[in-house]
Amino acid sequence: MENYPIRTKHAADRFLTLLKTRGPLSAAVLAGELGITGEGARLQLVKLAEEGLVQSESTSKGVGRPVLIWSLTPLGNARFPDTHTELTRELIQTIKNVLGKEALDNVVNAREKNQLEKYNNALQGVTGLENRLTSFAAIRSGEGYLAEWKKEGNTYYFIENHCPICCAATECDNICTSEMRTFVSILGEATNVSRAEHIINGARRCVYKIEQVAAPTL
């Protein structure tokens, strides 16, 4: 074992700390490092995966059965101290105080333009609302939003279970407005998009309600 002291008390914290300090590991390696059984390690990893803290990927090296390699999700990484939140808050406040609100709006608009260009490039050739929702959820999950979608009757719901930019959005409400404009643009004119739940307003997650108002042209 490398020289990383594991001082945390709870089993979950010990698993997360090892994955943070050592990188992706198999259940067998984790079990050996922590002095527990392989079955005990697998059960703990499944529990952490259900909580959205770890994820697994099947790998195969030579002859033999594929092995699951476990790593932290963005939510798992967020369990460790990070000063970016305070830095983000300070930067936004500095832009407001030194350059003015108009300058901050220009920064948000520039971000929106860049995001929209990136998303449009990634979704190029993806047609049909459900296909676009699936691809967009994968993109946003890769950015730390833990996104998914579901359909109830004729209504779709795009769900983001985590907001990696929550601090910035709290300091600058234009960011959430910008996010909404991006969603409307990505999903097309044949849809009506509204917010059903909003983290900034105290909800557990952000949920976008999507209704088709015309025949899809995506």
Tens-place pLDDT, residues 11-33:
788 899 888 888 899 999 999 99
Reported as a single tens digit per residue, the pLDDT across 47-73 is: 999 999 999 998 877 667 888 999 998
CA 101 – CA 171 distance, rounded (Å) = 12
CA 180 – CA 5 distance, rounded (Å) = 44
Reported as a single tens digit per residue, the pLDDT across 71-83 is: 998 888 878 765 6
Closest to 149 in 3D by CA, of 193, 111, 214, 119: 193
DSSP character string of 171-192: H-THHHHHHHHHHHHHH-TTEE
Structure tokens at 32: 């050996």
Structure tokens at 29: 């390696």
Which domains, ranges and CATH numbers included, belong to the chain?
11-77 (1.10.10.10), 84-212 (3.30.1380)
Neighbours of 180 (CB within 10 A): 14
